[in-house]
Amino acid sequence: MDIMTMMKDNFKDCFGDAVNTRTYFSPGRINLIGEHTDYNGGHVFPCAISLGTYALVADRTDNKSRIFSINMADKGVIEFPMSGLKYDRAKDWANYPIGVVDVFEKAGYKADHGFDIVMYGTLPNGAGLSSSASIEVLMAVILNDTFNFGIDMVDMVKMSQQAENKFVGVNCGIMDQFAVGMGKKDCAILLDCNTLEYRYSKLAIDGYSIVITNTNKKHSLGASAYNQRRKQCEHALSELQQVKDIKSLGELTNAEFDAIADKVSDPLERLRARHAVYENQRTLEAVAALEKNDIAKFGKLMNDSHVSLRDDYDVTGVELDTLAEVAWQQEGVLGSRMTGAGFGGCTISIVKNENIDDFKKNVGEIYTKRIGYEPSFYVANIADGTHKIEN
């Protein structure tokens, strides 16, 4: 059964016949390089992917919305009003779209009526491919399209991030929502997280594909570990600011950092800051290499990124390290690294098309033997950002 038929069947079961419905799609994202640089004032290089979240939407005449996720069917239909909203733990995953409705209302974009919505996600759960950002930007686009608010995508991206920060209470950077909303087919986005300046860069990797490998370890970057890394970088920055006039670690070149690194008193904080600086420079170098069609260099920088995340930032773990290190030994692999926050989730590898089957077989067998359970593989197509699907 195809996705649309399944969604219509579920819609009928939950809400009755799907008449006058509209369909929307919102992608997930991968980050090709530039990890843990966003909150350190650096650059990231993400792209939207063809896995994501679909919504089948019908207007209601009252001020109530009912929402159902096929992926979270056990949570049932969740109802909420379209104004005066507060975070409610009992509403579980629906707090992400509800938060967006709340942010819109507080910004003066009030909905005239509610919706019946069925959602279905093709992103693997807990894989660190930004399912929450996918749902948030999806809701923003549904509201904007339905009520003709005329909000541009960058503002919807910011509002979606605000929903996650303020309503849900997760202190994420801007990258996920930006990649989801602003994605462009066959392109990645070089984004300066300090200024939100961005440009598209064509992913000219003919003959190769991006293979996402899911550790199938639940993505569990504890808030405590994430906050600890942020705190370590912030403290390192404050010590460096005593000798250099900078606002963020992302402003330093590698040489500038090396010259003053000893001003960071804690050796562990020095490593964290070193990753932030070197990863930012690696990202700029990688994009330059890609634009010169030097994909071999791009692949090598991906590998270097993983090593830095493992040794200097300490956010990988045995599952991600096993996937990356085994991938490096496979024929036809240009590069492989963890993507996302770490401690589980996925790696991405650039693999020659003719070697993909062997890659899956070999990496899968070695990983399963070492870790005790199987990984999952997805070949990613680079997709457009969140949009209405014209029926």
What are 307-363's pLDDT values in tens digits?
Answer: 999 999 999 999 999 999 999 999 999 999 999 888 888 999 999 999 999 999 999
What CATH code is carried by the domain that includes residue 44? 3.30.230.10
Structurally, the chain folds into a number of domains equal to 1
Residue 144 lies inside a defined structural domain of this protein = yes
Whether 161 maps to a domain, the answer reads: yes
What secondary structure letter does DSSP report for 261? G
Q: Decide if 327 contacts 333 (C-beta within 8 A).
A: yes
The pLDDT of residue 169: 86
Quick check: 124 pLDDT over 90?
Answer: no
Is the pLDDT at 297 greater than 70, yes or no? Answer: yes
Asked whether the beta carbons of 32 and 175 are under 8 A apart, the reply is no
Q: Is residue 179 in a domain?
A: yes
Domain membership flag for residue 234: no
Q: CB count, 10 Å around CB of 58? A: 18
What is the overall mean pLDDT for the chain?
Answer: 94
> Using CA atoms, how far apart are residues 146 and 22, in angstroms rounded to an integer?
10
Taking residues 367-384, report their average pLDDT: 95
Residue 7 maps to a domain: yes
Query: Does the pLDDT value for residue 219 go beyond 80?
Result: no
- Decide if pLDDT at 258 tops 80: yes
Under the banding of pLDDT at 50, 70 and 90, the label for residue 223 is low
Q: Which residues pair with 65 in a beta bridge?
A: 80
DSSP 196: -
Question: Does any domain span residue 332?
Answer: no
Lowest-pLDDT choice from 37-51, 75-89, 104-118, 167-181: 167-181
Q: Which residues contact 269 (CB under 8 A, 6 or more apart)?
A: 232, 233, 235, 236, 239
Write the single-letter amino acid at 320. Answer: L
pLDDT of residue 341: 84
Average pLDDT over residues 72-92: 96
Encode burial over 147-179: b for 16+ CB neighbours within 10 A, e otherwise: eebebebeebbbbbbbbbbebbeeebbbbbbbb
pTM (predicted TM-score): 0.93
Q: For position 134, what pLDDT does the model report?
A: 96
Q: Is residue 326 part of a domain?
A: no
DSSP 242: T
Q: What domain range is 53 assigned to?
A: 3-203+383-389
Residue 148 has pLDDT above 60, yes or no: yes
Rounded to whole angstroms, how far apart are CA atoms 335 and 337? 7
Q: Please tell me which residue, 195 or 198, carries the higher pLDDT value.
A: 198
To the query of whether residue 176 is one of the catalytic residues in this protein, the response is yes
Does pLDDT of 237 surpass 80? yes
Q: Is residue 154 domain-resident?
A: yes
- pLDDT number for residue 30: 94
Give residue 260's Cα distance to chain centre: 33
Burial 192-227 (b: 16+ CB within 10 A, else e): bbeeeebeebebebeebbbbbbbbbbebebeeeebe
214, 124 in Cβ contact below 8 A?
yes
Give the number of other CB atoms < 10 A from CB of residue 326. 23
Of the listed 38, 176, 304, 312, which one is catalytic? 176
